[in-house]
Structure 1
């Protein structure tokens, strides 16, 4: 029988939920660069000191908010990839929801990628972002083994290449009017050059 969480844990989760909601709303409204941690604390109805117990920097707050969205995007991509046969089609289907997630608010998406690449790996939200990236690479490798007939080692290496292609394609699409379709087309063209058919 699972024991219900105690009052302290429920209070902690309530604060985390309020912080996540406040940061998500403010980042969506104004972009991460134009939001202060004080604004997030005020909207979450907590003290600024309390906020820093949950995330030490604004970058960590963005990772906290975006990680859940990237988790969901990866699951959508897995389902879409499962419905395809061709290797390039499957990998493209897998990464498309991630591109969509990244392009919702372009400056936030770019900041998320920067934080993921250069943030403090000892921070829990950063570690979670890296785990999502690793899960994405693993999903690509599974496609390459299952549909491309590659051995595990070669699939892992190519999955890392695919990850770099997707990362650079998303971070280099600076103009907010660049469509998701345009970014995905660029990624697909690169995948066709490196993946087995």
Structure 2
């Protein structure tokens, strides 16, 4: 019997069930109250575990937010990639990748802005932060692929340009002056900046 086909042990199943309960509880409470107004005790109570157990899975509220948002971000990126495949115009194709990410980030604006802060300034060795950074790298790869597909730039320049595009996107979503902006307004702000970048 190969390792892949061996049944998962009870201990591993219990750990996964706890993680699933924590993720569901954190997702619901963070969406309802926002990161500033929810406590780790509330999340532990909703997940039906002790706070000590909760801290085995995530040491801070920021890590809990990363746990929840990483899954949403990955889904948004998948949607954006699919949308970009059928989009012919290069700027529209880049924005097709960007828009679902902005939508995901703006479900709860404070959570979205905190997620970006945690991702940028958190410990990259911590698994949730590492996962977030991996999703960012995948986003840049998707944007670079669009740029190469349209032969706008060389492969090396495409990677650099994609890095700049994600920086524009993150700054537009995180900036305090943009906190009250709608999704459409944020996307327009990003579109204007990326349009200038791609026209050079």
TM-score above 0.5: yes
Runs of at least 5 residues in structure 2 that lack an aligned partner in the other structure:
none
Looking at structure 2, the residues matched to 186 and 179 of structure 1 have their Cα atoms a distance apart, in angstroms, of 11
Q: Does 1:36 find its partner at 2:39?
A: yes
Q: 2:188 aligns with which of 179, 185, 190?
A: 185
Separation in 1 of the partners of 2:179 and 2:164?
Answer: 25
Partner of 1:167: 170
Q: Does structure 2 conserve the Cα–Cα contact (< 8 Å) formed by 1:144 and 1:150? A: yes
Matched, 1:152 2:155: yes
Once the two structures are TM-superposed, the CA of residue 121 in structure 1 deviates from its matched residue by 1.0
2:61 aligned with 1:58: yes
Structure 1 counterpart of 2:12? 9
SS in 2 for 1:5: coil
* Alpha-carbon shift at residue 87 of structure 1 (Å): 1.1
TM-score (norm 2): 0.95
Structure 1: how far apart are the matches of 2:184 and 2:151?
25
Distance in 2, Cα, partners of 1:61 & 1:174: 26
SS in 2 for 1:182: helix
Residues paired across the two proteins, number: 197
Aligned to 2:153, the other structure's residue is in SS state: coil
Aligned equivalents of 1:26, 1:146: Cα separation in 2: 41
Structure 1: 5+ residue runs without aligned partners?
A: none
Q: Which runs of 4+ in 1 moved over 6 A?
A: none
